Amino acid sequence: MMGEGQLMLQRLLEIRGFLVYVVQTYRWINPYIKGLHLTIDAWCPGKDEYGFKLQEKELQDALFKAATARGIPCRREDEMTEEGIQPLEQQEAPQFVTAVPRLQQDIEQF
């Protein structure tokens, strides 16, 4: 269900796809779509409230909190593979996302 301030992820992806072609002709638009990129990917793990990737220390803290919430105080041997640590569970993309502040700024400036 769509809440207040929620945007349809699928529609944002369609708009971004269109703007990729527009930017090839009108290069001055490029900085204004940063907020769109950040909003589309903000739901992914490892992002802050502004949609940017967490820095290494912040990411480690977030992973530690997630692990302790799942009842895993530290890495276990069964989580290791020959290639390294197994990836966390894949999350399914939500239908709706919340706009990050940069998107609002880009819309107002454009």
- For residue 80, the number of C-alpha atoms closer than 13 Å in the C-beta half-sphere is 5
Model pLDDT for residues 58-95, shown as the tens digit of each residue? 777 777 776 676 665 555 445 544 444 445 556 788 99
| Domain containing residue 58 | 6-76+96-109
> Average pLDDT, stretch 29-50?
88
Q: In whole angstroms, give the CA distance from residue 29 to residue 19.
A: 9
Has residue 21 got a pLDDT over 80? yes
pLDDT of residue 50 exceeding 60: yes
Number of domains in the chain: 1
Cβ contacts of 110 within 8 Å, gap of 6 or more:
32
**pLDDT value for 56:** 79
The answer to the question of residue 18 being in a domain is yes
Q: What is the dihedral of CA 81, 83, 87, 93, to 10 degrees?
A: -140
| Distance of alpha carbon 39 from alpha carbon 20, whole angstroms | 16
